Amino acid sequence: MSDTGAARAHELGVIGCHVCGIVCDDVLDEHPLAGCPRCGSSLHRRRPDSLRRSAAYLIAAFILYIPANLFPVMYTTFLGSGFASTILGGIIDFWNSGSYGIALVIFVASILVPSVKFAIMGMLLLTSWRGSDWARPQRTRLYRLVEMVGYWSFLDVLVVAIVSSLVEFDALSETQPRVGIVFFGAVVILTMLSAMSFDARLIWDDKHE
């Protein structure tokens, strides 16, 4: 049931392949294991276990987001003195040294994007679970936003990698990655997997479907 009158696939008895996009007859009732006639991938009306998988990845990411922010991501020694920095600490350092633009970029990539992702994916999972018909076009847009910006959060992992590979001057100065970055990288990967497992068409399905 779309708001604009365009017929939906199940109403016409057709199905689209998740992988190559070809449209073919929906024969899943007679042949539950039918494969795509063009690319051979197995056909599904909806991604299998979409909501459960997506929720599982999201919850795992949410749990790991706590150590990702509490543990330091980097340890730097400079002329004898050493200090550890967390993600938020790195942003505050940039801000205090006057690099407001960079502080903002890292804040958006590392704090804002993951937080917004948790909020949006949590809301999408909850409303789709209940088969809500509230704001369907807008919810679909939010899903696309999450898909589009999600991977930029990997920025901090790459920055830590580049910096720790450059600053290797033994006694003078050294930078090492610390365990916080592993948790943070895992958060980014898990939230991406959560978004990929979520089948946006479930936003448009009513409860009984």
Using CA atoms, how far apart are residues 90 and 107, in angstroms rounded to an integer?
A: 9
Q: In what order do the strands lie in the sheet with 168-169?
A: 81-85, 74-78, 173-177, 168-169
In the block, which residue shows the tokens 């899943």? 28
Of residues 97 and 115, the one with the C-beta less far from other proteins: 97
209 with 132: CB under 8 angstroms? no
Choice between 129 and 169, CB closer to other proteins: 169
- Rounded to a whole number of angstroms, the minimum distance from the CB of residue 166 to other proteins is 5
Give the C-alpha separation, 188 to 154, whole Å.
6
Q: How far is the CB of 97 from other proteins (least distance, A)?
A: 6
**Nearest distance from C-beta of residue 30 to other proteins, angstroms:** 7
CB 148 within 8 A of CB 14: no
- CB burial of residue 42 (10 Å; 0-12, 13-18, 19+): middle
CB of 119 to other proteins, least distance (A): 20
Torsion sign across C-alpha atoms 162, 168, 169, 175: positive
Extended beta strands in 124-172, E state: 168-169
Quick one: 132 exposed, middle or buried, by C-beta within 10 A (0-12, 13-18, 19+)? Answer: middle
Q: Closest approach of Cβ 93 to other proteins, in Å?
A: 9
Q: Which is nearer to other proteins, 127 or 176 (CB)?
A: 176
Which C-beta is closer to other proteins: that of 53 or that of 151? 151
**β pairing state of 81-85 and 168-169:** unpaired
Complex with other proteins: residue 51 or 159, whichever CB lies closer: 159
The least distance separating other proteins from the CB of residue 90, rounded to whole angstroms, comes to 8
Q: Which is nearer to other proteins, 118 or 139 (CB)?
A: 139
